[in-house]
Amino acid sequence: MSSSNTTIWVAGASGLVGRALLDVLARQPVQVHAVLRRPQDLPPYPRLTQHKVDFGRADLGAQLPAPRAVYIALGTTIAQAGSQEAFRAVDLDAVLTVARAARARGASRCAVVSALGADAKSAVFYNRVKGEMEQALAQLGFARLVIARPSLLVGDRAALGQPERAGERWAQRLSGPLLPLIPKRWRPITAARVAGAMALALAQDGPGISVLESARMQDLEEQGNP
């Protein structure tokens, strides 16, 4: 991915994958702009700037520098959001608002965190919303769109000041002796591995849309070839 523009947006930088993305991007010669709902205690990386935005505003990117690429790691749960409508506002509406704003400011590449089983026709609400989000992003005209579909995430939410999620608590328990017995498609995956796979895939030339299933991300960093 060659360009004189080194500006990268990261939406959702306070979460597990978002924070891992900051760690990955800190090792690259880029200017990272964290797009957040509220100020956060982020790592003091020298090329990292925070921006407080309203994810309900279509012009949220008006005061941000034009990006080369955008990473979107926004997400919640229905339990945390409080309702299906509130969940949809984050996992669909806010994601699309950021993507559209980045595209309008010139971003040609986008990487987004979706979920294993995402399908716009799914009978499962969570999977259906994720699938609808993927379909909507595909219509925005990014030259390259990377969609990451991780299984259960492994990471320390407590260290980020976030409540632990029940599914991820089980993932932590499975990340021991039983891990090799679990098929890679369902195997819990670390946020760091997801972030590394996303960054690697987005930096490469390839098809307009590239879907990284969880099993593929388990090996992607080691292979060094998305």
Q: How far apart are the first and last CA of the chain?
A: 14
Angstrom distances, CA of residue 120 to CA of 31, 125, 192, 193, 214: 34, 9, 27, 26, 18
CB 22 within 8 A of CB 32: yes
Give catalytic status of residue 71 as yes or no: no
Catalytic residue among 45, 52, 130, 184: 130
What is the spatial distance between Cα 31 and Cα 33, in angstroms, rounded to a whole number?
Answer: 7
Q: At what angle do helices 16-25 and 191-203 cross, to 10 degrees?
A: 50
CA-nearest of 39, 3, 35 to 18 is 35
Give catalytic status of residue 52 as yes or no: no
> Which tokens belong to 121?
């026709």
Task: Give the residue numbers marked as catalytic.
Answer: 126, 130
